[in-house]
Amino acid sequence: MKVGIVGCAGRMGRMLISEILVNEGVTLIGGTEHSESAFVGHDIAKLAGFDETGIIVGSDTDALFSVSDVVIDFTLPQATISHTQGAVKYGTALVVGTTGLNKEEQAAVVKASKSVAVIQAANFSIGVNLLLTLTSQAASVLENDYDIEIYEMHHRHKVDAPSGTALALGEAAAKARGVDLVSVSERIRDGNTGTRSPGNIGFATLRGGDVVGDHSLIFAADGERLELTHKASSRRVFARGAIRSAKWCEHKAPGLYSMRDVLGL
């Protein structure tokens, strides 16, 4: 498959380049950055420390979508809206790892999935997607006398909080209990907050250093506590999952798919 990368000079973009160049079954066809980026015009492989390939970083996303079988997008929400339009225009499959989308931005992703295959995940790690499955199973068995708390920590540069993965864990737990996450979500605790409301799902967010991503989900009851934890030490696990998704979506009918669809979970 011919794979394009939008935002190819970012941390995830470079990791994707590195993985695609050594991965059988996929070919790096191109990558883009915003028009003012200093990396436009550079050889894309050199961004990841490889020898030159002759593939030059561009700024025309339309051109990238027109020659790609699938485009991988780990950018920003507003950019992702534009990329969904390119996917529909050229019939290009889209792998979306962008987090922090609001309702309008998510609606654009859903709209695109009516025309092309879209694989969207808050986290493309295989381990995290197994964690989501375990979360659903645990939450369906452990009733409201087990308080649910979700903890996450990421590097200092992450701009959205809680992380998309933390919210996905919350959604998995809430759905398993038959409740709406928005109505039971507890994001902020400061000062005299009073006692904990039964059935709520709490979130704790930490930022600092170069932490790639730590997530823990805690079921706490009187007398016992169950903790499910995943720690990522390299972005490579996200890149590998995204590339696996790109391969999986070949010849797939239009629709909105998840990483758990890719893994058959």
State the catalytic residues: 154, 158
Bridging pattern class, strands 147-154 and 213-221:
antiparallel
The end-to-end CA distance of the chain, in Å, is 24
User: Which amino acid is located at 189 in the chain?
Assistant: R
Q: Report in angstroms the alpha-carbon separations of 188 from 76, 199, 205.
A: 25, 16, 10
Dihedral sign (CA 134, 135, 140, 145): positive
Q: Give me the torsion for CA of 172, 176, 180, 186, rounded to 10°.
A: -60
Closest CA to 42 of 30, 31, 52, 56: 56
Contact 44, 30 (CB under 8 A): yes
d(CA 215, CA 165): 8
d(CA 79, CA 114): 19
Q: Give me the torsion for CA of 61, 129, 205, 231, rounded to 10°.
A: -100
User: Which amino acid is located at 92 in the chain?
Assistant: T
* Chain-centre distance for alpha carbon 196: 30
Local structure of 96: helix, strand or coil: strand
